[in-house]
Amino acid sequence: MCYPPMLGMEKADVIGKLRQLMPVLPSDFKPAEKTQTEIVLSLVNHNPKERPSSADLLKSGKLPVQMESETIRRTLAGLADPSSPYYRKMLSTLFARPVDAAKDYAWDMFASTPSSEELLNQGFVKNILHSIFRHHGALEMPRSSIYPRSSHYGDNAVQLLDPNGTVLQLPYDLTMGNARMIAKQSAGSMPQRTFSFGSVYRDKQDTGQPTIFGEVDFDIVTTDALDLALKEAEVLKVLDEIVHTFPSLSQSQMCFHIGHSDLLQFIFEHCGVETTSRRLAADALSRLNIHNHTWQKVKMELRSPAIGVSATSVDELQKFDFRDTPNKAFSRLKTLFEGGDMYQRASSTMGHLKEVAEYAKRFGVATKIYVNPLNSIKENFYAGGFLFSCLYDKKVKDVFAAGGRYDHLIKEQRLKTGGRYEERHAIGFSLAWEWLARVSKTGGKSFMKKHEMDPGSIFMERRCDILVASFDMTLLRSAGLEILQLLWDHDISAEMAKDARSPEDLLSKHRDENYSWIIVVKPDSMLKIKTMHRKDVPDVDLPQSQLMAWLRPELKERDARAFSKLKSSASQAIEATGSSSGPQSEARQDQEVKVLVASTKSKKFNRRQVVDQAQISAANLVRSFLDGAILAIETTDQVISLLQETSLSDHESWKRMEQAVTMNERKYVRELHVQLDTWRAGYEGKGKSKHAFIYNFRTGTCVYYDLSA
């Protein structure tokens, strides 16, 4: 806002007009912005109270941009400098700001809540994975849930600011937290094999709750460089076991793509990719052939100004876009590397990949293994080491799990000033495990409403085995509670039903559940039991006192059927993958069943069904023996032989036994007789087991005794 110099009378005229009751600006004063005129008129206002102060001008929004920018620059400089006297005050002001009510409400507005069935399936999947990891001697270990921001991640990492001004981040994966923990752990004993279930986060950039999903990591950490290829092959074996445990995976075409960070760097060097562009180029190549990322799309990304790979280099890289079995892949690489010493330099790396493949074969890994030279998923983590991915081998590929050796990442987390650290080598993989339950639900029959219709389903676990109901609300809250307590005491999962007036009303209120039995409490201590998991079993009416005696064999038969279906599913998966011919597996022979058909005419029957039912019945009979009590005695095997000839219903047999033993042993035989009689009374009056065993702890002999005989 400048005005040219004026002579005496001209100056007096201009100032005189400004002194008028309503100040008037010169006619030739025409600034570019109207706000400048408003600022001048407000400053020459005759009323001091109406003239703005400097603070008022700053708040008015009328000041020129240059002055605003300077203020912002000073504020940002104060925030960036922890030694600034205003640093703490500015941070305190930020954290003291109240939360906007609308943002508070909208934060988790679109968060989804899993259903009861999905939670049950997730728990079942987690237990299976836990079992597989424990078979390899792994221990569950927690990971860091928040740590300072890492430069390895992009804008979709969830970043936070603490009151001290430290920029933090929530886990983008579980690998970084483990690498930080390993790097800072002092020398000493640490678990060699570990696994961890945790949550990872992605920022949706919409000021709302970030995307959260479950991930599991399996890692092998060693303090020496011995048998690194063997450890890497074991990690592939663990993933292979997961693939062949879940029907939705074992029935899909799966494969491993293995590679090496050093091999990728040799290829970049051979193709003339600049060192400064290699990290971004590897990130772009990690999406190659995944979903709809064809070579043409990746080529455009590589040629973009952000990465800047030359056209010649991109054309050379395309020659390495293949996968093949190890021997064939190395042969192709030898041809592509001709004309220089690159193949010779890469020979040790290729030898390592071949060693991993050989160990995996000895482990009996059934999933196909291919060498993919451009494999680069999270190559910045696995710099200088082996890396791999497990893929759905379809026309449109997708990544199921990925991992590699992250020794370099561990070294990055250590102090650069030196210090003595024990050597650490780590190999592992990451898997979005919650997805397994969701995929199985829509990807096959394993989550059909009626589980018994699918012999291959492994998701047979129910949220609750038994529903206790009654059409009399008072009876349900008295006798029903007693039955509920009885079932809980016998380690059987059960719950009370909602109030209902009829069987139709009861089934309608619980139609989304999957109980094995419904127990309806009736007057006079009578129960009506409806079997829900089988249509061929009629309803049963029995006294309350006989409930457990009836329920125990039914539970065993149900579990035996489930085990038989699971075993059949596993056998089919082994046959489908051809692993039954491997050196580590032996086909288990089914129990022999000989079917003798009567000479008289009879209805046609399904021979396979008869064999299965016979095996299940025999297994149930054997399991029922385990309910029998054991009597440990100290005597001779001759007395045990005499005992086998007795019967509790035949008193003469006991007299003959007493006469056959010595005088010193007769009292001991009578005590034995009394104890067996007591167990027989429990069988006849309280529905206990009729089976008993007598163990001679002097000689180690054990015989069966039938209390009902």
Quick one: three-class SS letters along 508-560? HHCCCCCCCEEEEEECCCEEEEEECCCCCCCCEEEEHHHHHHHHHHHHHHHHH
Instruction: Assess contact for 512 and 120: CB atoms under 8 A.
Output: no
User: Domain containing 30: what range?
Assistant: 8-63
Residue 449 belongs to a domain: no
Residue 678 belongs to a domain: yes
Q: Are residues 135 and 188 in the same domain?
A: yes
What is the average per-residue pLDDT within 189-215? 90
> What's the number of CA atoms in the CB half-sphere (13 Å) around residue 541?
5
Instruction: Please state which of the ranges 283-287, 321-325, 412-416 shows the lowest mean pLDDT.
Output: 412-416
Q: Are residues 415 and 287 in the same domain?
A: yes
d(CA 175, CA 193): 14
DSSP 471-511: SSHHHHTTHHHHHHHHHHHTT--EEEPPP-SSHHHHHHHTT
Instruction: Please state which of the ranges 122-126, 207-211, 568-572, 625-629 shows the lowest mean pLDDT.
Output: 568-572
Instruction: Label residue 320 by pLDDT band (50, 70, 90).
Output: very high
Q: Are residues 488 and 428 in the same domain?
A: no
Give the CA dihedral 561, 562, 565, 569, nearest 10 degrees. Answer: -160
Instruction: Label residue 275 by pLDDT band (50, 70, 90).
Output: very high
Residue entry with tokens 């219709």 = 453
Question: In the predicted model, is pLDDT for residue 543 greater than 60?
Answer: yes
Residue 316 belongs to a domain: yes
Q: Are residues 303 and 363 in the same domain?
A: yes
pLDDT at 449: 35
Q: Are residues 641 and 702 in the same domain?
A: yes
Residues 6+ apart with CB under 8 A from 596: none
Residue 571 belongs to a domain: no
Domain total of the chain: 5
Instruction: Please state which of the ranges 242-246, 325-329, 544-548, 582-586 shows the lowest mean pLDDT.
Output: 582-586
Residue percentage of the chain with pLDDT more than 90:
45
Question: In the predicted model, is pLDDT for residue 577 greater than 80?
Answer: no
Backbone angles phi, psi at 465, to 5 degrees: -80, -45
pLDDT at 533: 84
Instruction: Please state which of the ranges 3-7, 466-470, 490-494, 629-633 shows the lowest mean pLDDT.
Output: 3-7
What CATH number corresponds to the domain at position 485? Answer: 3.40.50.800
Q: Are residues 430 and 472 in the same domain?
A: no
Q: Are residues 307 and 187 in the same domain?
A: yes
pLDDT at 264: 97
Q: Are residues 77 and 166 in the same domain?
A: no
What is the average per-residue pLDDT within 52-58? 82
Q: Are residues 171 and 39 in the same domain?
A: no
Residue 128 belongs to a domain: yes
What CATH number corresponds to the domain at position 186? Answer: 3.30.930.10
Instruction: Please state which of the ranges 58-62, 160-164, 210-214 shows the lowest mean pLDDT.
Output: 58-62
What is the average per-residue pLDDT within 499-508? 92
What is the average per-residue pLDDT within 26-30? 79
Question: In the predicted model, is pLDDT for residue 51 greater than 50?
Answer: yes
pLDDT digits (tens, 9 = 90+) for 102-137: 888 888 888 888 888 888 889 989 999 999 999 999
Question: In the predicted model, is pLDDT for residue 213 greater than 80?
Answer: yes
pLDDT at 261: 96
Question: In the predicted model, is pLDDT for residue 188 greater than 50?
Answer: yes
Q: What is the pTM of this model?
A: 0.68
Question: In the predicted model, is pLDDT for residue 701 greater than 60?
Answer: yes
Q: Are residues 93 and 160 in the same domain?
A: no
Q: Are residues 230 and 347 in the same domain?
A: yes
pLDDT at 450: 36
> Looking at per-residue confidence, does 346 or 436 come out higher?
346
Residue 588 belongs to a domain: no
Residue 596 belongs to a domain: no
pLDDT at 483: 95
Cα–Cα nearest to 476, from 518, 522, 515:
522
Residues 6+ apart with CB under 8 A from 113: none
Instruction: Label residue 544 by pLDDT band (50, 70, 90).
Output: very high
Q: Are residues 374 and 225 in the same domain?
A: yes
pLDDT at 448: 32
pLDDT at 392: 93
pLDDT digits (tens, 9 = 90+) for 625-671: 877 889 898 888 888 888 888 998 888 898 898 888 888 888 888 88
Residue 642 belongs to a domain: yes
Instruction: Please state which of the ranges 434-438, 486-490, 631-635 shows the lowest mean pLDDT.
Output: 434-438
Packing angle of the helix pair 65-80, 87-96 (nearest 10 deg): 100
pLDDT averaged over the chain?
85
